[in-house]
Amino acid sequence: MSTHTNHEQAGEEAGVPTAGIQDIAFATGHYSFDLKNLADQHEIDVNKFYVGIGQETMSIPASDEDIVTMGAAAAQRIIERNGTEGIRTLLFATESGIDQSKSAGVYVHGLLKLPREIRTIETKMACYGAIGALQMALGLVARNPKEKVLVIAADVARYDIDTSGEPTQGAAAVAFLVQASPDILAIESSQGVYTSDVQDFWRPNFRNTALVDGKFSVGAYMDALVGAWHDYRDHDGVDFDEIDWFCYHQPFTKMAVKAHMRLTREAGVPLDKPEAAQALEPTFGYNKQLGNSYSASIFLGFLALLDSETDLEGQRVGFFSYGSGAVAEFFTGIIQPGYRKHLRAQEHQAILDARVPIGYDRYRVLHPGTLVQPLDNYRTERETQGPFRFEGVSEGSRLYR
Ligand code: COA
């Protein structure tokens, strides 16, 4: 493993301070659903899920939870530790939007009683949206290093019952603070970007569940990885062997293994499946338990790596984000000296442990079905133990407490 100084590439040589992640935390839904329940229901070997796709349980939100309650719970931890001073922008990235017009971030702003002097918007591009938000945040901080940006990535991944995507559902939110001279991760300036108009996964406005061509989406992910990697290398990106760790978007953790095999082949240092799985193992812990959380998933991979036993000081992490449809990006960051003092590993484990396990029947009741119901008035039952509740809808307005 190499150790990199925190100013390589990050702009300090040009007199610009580094920028990146100062603090990062996650939240999830109230329930957990072991994929053994799904395997039993379908009378198949559970190792198709545990081993074949690399997923063990999925988080399921209670009926009084959604992206706003999870996003607010994650962001509350960031605000409690860092305060609100300097935060002038709140970016909320999601695929699971709850309104066609108003940003979910504005509801979070209200729940957390944030100062009025903040701009708040929502970003969307399937699972990529939060990386777009991160790059916007870095741009704002580069323009004015006194400013901070609160970014929230929150999603509920839902596929139809009895489809191939069903075992890859999940739910979580990650919140992080972007600022100058960060204590956890300084993000380097080189980026490899990629867009291709493909129909591998999409969700029309009238649907709760995504439509997906699963096998095609795996291929589209690979094409995007190769495209983004070469663009990264063409834009002053470092050599493959200068990157110590890789965090991929993990729709299911096995996807990252396939991707890493592909990237190592592309870089001329091919790893076989066990070697690729071993190299990425520290990034899998949270996603295996939470399931897919779309825009939050790549950050949960990063959090699992940070919260692991490994000492990462001075090491370079490569990030690959893929949003079906498709937009992708490859970039890197350097883990900062003393980063461990800023982590929340025990808090994160407690969040996972606090979830209430449910069986197949309850899972079916909580699954919203394919089509959005046009209900202007309804109340949700009190279920969540989290700090925020979605109370229901009154004359078309969503109510949060
Ligand atoms: N023990 C161990 N492994 C097993 C197994 C068992 N009993 N049964 C099957 N497997 C393995 C298969 O060999 C396969 O491995 P491979 O991918 O290395 O070849 C893996 O489990 C998956 O099996 P497969 O039959 O291909 O699964 P599937 O057709 O049901 O669906 C996806 C796989 C990814 C297409 C599906 O989960 C999906 O649609 N996901 C949503 C879309 C998505 O996340 N796309 C990713 C890009 S964004």
Residue nearest to atom 16 of ligand 1 (CA): 52
pLDDT (tens digit, 0 to 9) for every residue of the chain, 401 residues total? Answer: 556 654 444 545 555 679 999 999 999 999 999 999 999 999 999 999 999 999 999 999 999 999 999 999 999 999 999 999 999 999 999 999 999 999 999 999 999 999 999 999 999 999 999 999 999 999 999 999 999 999 999 999 999 999 999 999 999 999 999 999 999 999 999 999 999 999 999 999 999 999 999 999 999 999 999 999 999 999 999 999 999 999 999 999 999 999 999 999 999 999 999 999 999 999 999 999 999 999 999 999 999 999 999 999 999 999 999 999 999 999 999 999 999 999 999 999 999 999 999 999 999 999 999 999 988 999 999 999 999 999 999 999 999 99
Task: Decide: helix, strand or coil at residue 385.
Answer: coil
Does the predicted model carry a pTM greater than 0.95? yes
Ligand 1 is surrounded, with C-beta below 6 A, by 45, 47-48, 51-53, 164-165, 168, 212, 214-215, 217-218, 221, 251-252, 255, 322, 324
Catalytic residue numbers? 95, 127, 249
Torsion of CA 212, 51, 29, 127, to 10 degrees: -40
Q: Do 28 and 290 form a contact (C-beta atoms < 8 A)?
A: yes
In angstroms, rounded to a whole number, what is the distance separating the alpha carbons of residues 376 and 398? 9
- How many A from CA of 53 to the centre of ligand 1? 5
Assigned fold of 19-400: Peroxisomal Thiolase; Chain A, domain 1 (3.40.47)
Q: Which residue ranges make up each domain of the chain? A: 19-400
Q: Do 355 and 29 form a contact (C-beta atoms < 8 A)?
A: yes
User: Which residues are bridge partners to 26 per DSSP?
Assistant: 174
Task: Judge if the upstream peptide bond of residue 326 is cis by omega within 30 degrees of 0.
Answer: yes
128: closest CA among 95, 90, 163? Answer: 95
Alpha helix ranges (H) inside 100-192: 104-111, 129-143
Ranges assigned E (strand) in 44-195: 57-60, 87-93, 119-123, 148-157, 170-180, 185-195
Kindly state the greatest CA–CA separation across the chain: 62
